[in-house]
Structure 1
């Protein structure tokens, strides 16, 4: 059904809700997601939205997922579709395929790039902005009456080169071109949303607006998401989360209560008829929010608010959360003998999480996959490196805290990184440019301010590992040393952009590099390194070089250098299995 018609026909007393999911990167995660979607479907959503990877990178999986949501679970699917940086003809082919599958709803997005001043060149000059996609669908005889088209709204702003009035003007143009509903970006400042909504209404926009809510899953994911979305967060809310950030369960429970209160304010005070939930392919939090609101079709909940791990002084009530925001500013699924518990990935995965999880490799919100900064911002941060040495110096400057981030790490160095910083500096200076790492940890308390994670009263462990880009010559030297001196304690995976792959790990082996032991729970393993997940991540890692290169003019030294690095370097992930010897990996790598 066309989504605009579904909204018009909604007659229940409770608000409607929509779930957003993304196509997992792995086949196992995709299959497991279908089971999870089946359970979420039982809650009675009005629709499900399926995200679209940057440049059409998830085209087939997005189409398959949207089609299966409709055919297997009777869900009204809304397919996200970006129009920039797409190969010529991809938009037309996607629309044709979506229509053949019976999909009737499109969320038209611009995608990244372009943004601001840049040298990006559209692959298809007919599709540069979201309005181009809206106009194309609404003027095409095969699609105009078939597809209901929605567009994105940004209460906190989107393009910071534009004023709010200018952004509203662009949104009005998309509505005039035929868009029939608006889904907002995630936001936390309700007062700002009210201000934006009034601007929308004053501009004569009367189509349904569905505000997006994302229950906070962890402190780290919250910080990353708000940075990428450029979401405004009230100081009191940020302070409250900061106070409990070392206990993932407390953060998760806080996020549920906060999302519940945001939904109450949006529907009761702001007149929202429905909510768009960003699930990140996780289930428990959104289920609890709906059940506590009384919006789900289920009458008996397996989760109760009294199960909260928050102590009384931190448990946030609806009225307290409302005050906080107002302040200015079902069965398991078996795969090759492995059963995924429905809540096994309750805590979000690390980069090398469980590749069988539907939440593995979560995309950045709103069809990210890009570097996360505009070209103008990137050039201001990183200049215009024109030689390999310039790029190496940039990685060194990040480790020396002379610059706040790199295209591969948008956050500042973590506290645990400082423990191994001398090793990382030496590795990077030796032409192994480090982009991820962790020290070995033997039974740190789960509330430790540096290493702690998960619920309280537990203990956490880590194996040391490091990930870096290096030349084929350096890789040959390292792999030879593993054979001669590794003594079976070193595991590595290496791949290049053209598909080359080498490893000393047996096929199918999985290596937990972070794990936790907590009272009354099975051992948790949020970070796992194995071949499937490494190869999935390496595609994204090499795409960063390509996206970074597009910040600079064609035929420029900077673009040529970055493209050359993308083509010549290898991505290597290496770990040491003796977590009781904190210096073992670094001594091996540096020849100490």
Structure 2
């Protein structure tokens, strides 16, 4: 059903809400997102939306996920669609695929230009802005009457555009006049400016529903990254409340829930805002708590969803022959399987429980970049799926590197806090990495460009200002870890030393752009490199390094070199250098398992000649 029609006929006593999900990067994450959506569907959202990913990078998974929720389970789904990197014909292909699956709603976006703004050019000249998608769909006899179209709005201004507020409102009106049926806004953390913006939107003659984006704060570090990435303004009172509790993940989560509740109550109290768009980042607990505290749970919208969670009976794994596993409750899956599906019984309804990690803890403390690759939230980025690279930042902070010495100098400047970001980190060097700064500096001076690391920690208090995380009264542990880019000859020397002198204490992964992967980790090996012990809880593993997560990150890491290179004109020395690094270097990830010796990893790597 079209979202605009559902909103027009919505007659519940409480505001409606929608949930946003992104397609996980791994098959296991995709598999385990389905029961998560199932659990959240019990809250009866009016619809869910599925993001498209930066530059259409997840287009196949996006359509797969949206198709499953819409055609298989009857949850009205909004498919995000962007202009970026859409080859001629791809828009038609995506719209037809959505139509075949019964999807009647799309969110038309230009998309963040993952190759930089100054030199970015549309792949298909028909589509350079979100309005182009709106106009195209509305002018098409094949698609016009079928689709309800949403567009994005930025109450605090688009982070990549210098248009003033009146200009932004004019752009929004153009999109609505072109045929948009509803508006979804960028997230915000200050209700008063948002309500003022709504008044200005209405004064422009824009009457379609406005659905504000709300994202509960999950962790302090992810919050800082997100507000920088999205250009979100944060009231001083919010920062003042977070700073004293920033090292207690549970208190930050609790505050995030309370703040979201307060914002929602304020913006819905006037009667102007009829619904909320929850940006879940594929996390479920905070959204559930917000809805419970609002006392919205149990109120049913006009159309109930078919997908029911927690029903009795065994679970069935359903294997897609060309994609991912799903977990489906057979009591609600009657007649939904197709000939492309084959089912198999499983004895473990919770694939994350036991010796590997408990699925219930996957997202409690998602502070590790790797996390658990089986988690639906593995690899989460920002609300619209952006990469986080900024051309302005790249040119102003990272300059114009023309040699490998320039790149070494840039990494050293980042390590010494002379620049506040690097292509591989939107935030300054973390306090814990500062404790191993001399070692990172030595590696970088060798031409081993470090991009990620952590020191060994043996039972620091969970409230420790540098190493702590999780609830109070616990202890946290870390194995020494480092990740860097090297030339092939150096990789071979490292491999030889690990083989001859590692004595089983050192594990590594190495991968290149061409898809080669080297490792001394068994195929099914999983290295927990961060874990915590807390009163009344199982051991929680927040950062796990194994082949699947490394390969997923490796692909992203090499794409970052390409994005950075695209900030410079074709044929320039900078672009040629960065592209050659991407082609020739290897990404190496090394873990030393002796966490009781703080210098074990660094002594192994830096003592003696390689």
TM-score normalized with structure 2 length: 0.89
Cα distance in 1 for partners of 2:15, 2:424 equals 40
Aligned to 2:180: 179
8 Å CA contact 1:392–1:429 kept in 2: the answer is: yes
Q: Following TM superposition, by how much is the alpha carbon of 1:113 offset from its aligned partner in structure 2, in angstroms? A: 1.3
- Deviation readout 1:368-419 (Å, 9 max, x if unpaired): 1242x2x233211111212222122111111121111111011111111111
8 Å CA contact 1:194–1:270 kept in 2: the answer is: no
Cα distance in 1 for partners of 2:165, 2:393 equals 20
Structure 2, unpaired ranges of 5+: 301-309, 311-347
- Deviation readout 1:22-59 (Å, 9 max, x if unpaired): 11111111111100101111110000010111111111
Cα distance in 2 for partners of 1:434, 1:377 equals 20
Moved more, 64-73 or 410-419: 64-73
8 Å CA contact 1:119–1:554 kept in 2: the answer is: no
Q: Following TM superposition, by how much is the alpha carbon of 1:121 offset from its aligned partner in structure 2, in angstroms? A: 2.5
Cα distance in 1 for partners of 2:589, 2:486 equals 11
8 Å CA contact 1:332–1:339 kept in 2: the answer is: no
8 Å CA contact 2:114–2:387 kept in 1: the answer is: no
Moved more, 192-201 or 515-524: 192-201
8 Å CA contact 1:349–1:360 kept in 2: the answer is: no
Aligned to 1:309: none
Please say if 1:7 is aligned against 2:25.
Answer: no
Aligned to 1:508: 524
Cα distance in 1 for partners of 2:426, 2:68 equals 35
Aligned to 2:34: 34
Select 2:402's aligned residue among 386, 394, 402.
386
Map of 1:143-292 to 2, 5 A cutoff? 143-158=143-158, 159-269=160-270, 271-292=272-293
8 Å CA contact 1:283–1:343 kept in 2: the answer is: no
8 Å CA contact 2:48–2:75 kept in 1: the answer is: yes
Q: Secondary structure at the match of 2:212?
A: strand
Q: Secondary structure at the match of 1:394?
A: helix
Q: Following TM superposition, by how much is the alpha carbon of 1:89 offset from its aligned partner in structure 2, in angstroms? A: 2.8
Please say if 1:414 is aligned against 2:435.
Answer: no
Aligned to 2:364: 346
Q: Secondary structure at the match of 1:280?
A: coil
Select 2:351's aligned residue among 331, 334, 346.
334
Aligned to 1:453: 469
**Alpha carbons of structure 1 residues 224 and 109: separation in structure 2 relative to 1, 3 Å:** same
Moved more, 132-141 or 461-470: 132-141
Aligned to 1:425: 441
Please say if 1:135 is aligned against 2:135.
Answer: yes
Cα distance in 1 for partners of 2:562, 2:164 equals 30
Cα distance in 1 for partners of 2:256, 2:116 equals 33
- Deviation readout 1:126-153 (Å, 9 max, x if unpaired): 2111111111111111111111110101
Cα distance in 1 for partners of 2:57, 2:552 equals 12
Aligned to 2:315: none
Moved more, 139-148 or 445-454: 139-148
Cα distance in 2 for partners of 1:343, 1:269 equals 38
Select 2:515's aligned residue among 499, 507, 510.
499
- Deviation readout 1:232-283 (Å, 9 max, x if unpaired): 1100111101111111111111111111111111111362100000111111
**Alpha carbons of structure 1 residues 61 and 333: separation in structure 2 relative to 1, 3 Å:** farther
Cα distance in 1 for partners of 2:285, 2:393 equals 37
Cα distance in 2 for partners of 1:228, 1:13 equals 36
Cα distance in 2 for partners of 1:342, 1:69 equals 23
Please say if 1:550 is aligned against 2:566.
Answer: yes
What is the RMSD computed on CA atoms of the aligned residues? 1.9
Select 1:560's aligned residue among 572, 576, 584.
576
Select 1:358's aligned residue among 366, 373, 376.
376
Q: Following TM superposition, by how much is the alpha carbon of 1:363 offset from its aligned partner in structure 2, in angstroms? A: 2.4
Aligned to 2:460: 444
Cα distance in 2 for partners of 1:139, 1:293 equals 41
Cα distance in 2 for partners of 1:7, 1:446 equals 46
Cα distance in 1 for partners of 2:581, 2:299 equals 54
Q: Secondary structure at the match of 2:124?
A: coil
Cα distance in 2 for partners of 1:114, 1:417 equals 28
Q: Following TM superposition, by how much is the alpha carbon of 1:167 offset from its aligned partner in structure 2, in angstroms? A: 0.9
Map of 1:579-590 to 2, 5 A cutoff? 579-590=595-606
TM-score normalized with structure 1 length: 0.92
Q: Secondary structure at the match of 1:186?
A: coil
Cα distance in 2 for partners of 1:181, 1:435 equals 41
- Deviation readout 1:171-209 (Å, 9 max, x if unpaired): 111111111100000001112112211221111111100
Moved more, 554-563 or 511-520: 554-563
Cα distance in 2 for partners of 1:269, 1:538 equals 48
Moved over 4 A (4+): 114-117, 335-340
Aligned length: 560
8 Å CA contact 2:219–2:367 kept in 1: the answer is: no
Aligned to 1:464: 480
Cα distance in 1 for partners of 2:399, 2:165 equals 29
8 Å CA contact 1:151–1:179 kept in 2: the answer is: yes
Moved more, 107-116 or 50-59: 107-116
Cα distance in 2 for partners of 1:279, 1:348 equals 13
Aligned to 1:326: none
Aligned to 1:401: 417
Q: Following TM superposition, by how much is the alpha carbon of 1:160 offset from its aligned partner in structure 2, in angstroms? A: 4.1
Aligned to 1:62: 62
Cα distance in 2 for partners of 1:71, 1:502 equals 41
Q: Following TM superposition, by how much is the alpha carbon of 1:216 offset from its aligned partner in structure 2, in angstroms? A: 0.9
**Alpha carbons of structure 1 residues 480 and 298: separation in structure 2 relative to 1, 3 Å:** farther
Cα distance in 2 for partners of 1:226, 1:200 equals 23
Moved more, 280-289 or 268-277: 268-277
Cα distance in 1 for partners of 2:19, 2:578 equals 38
Structure 1, unpaired ranges of 5+: 303-330
Aligned to 1:44: 44
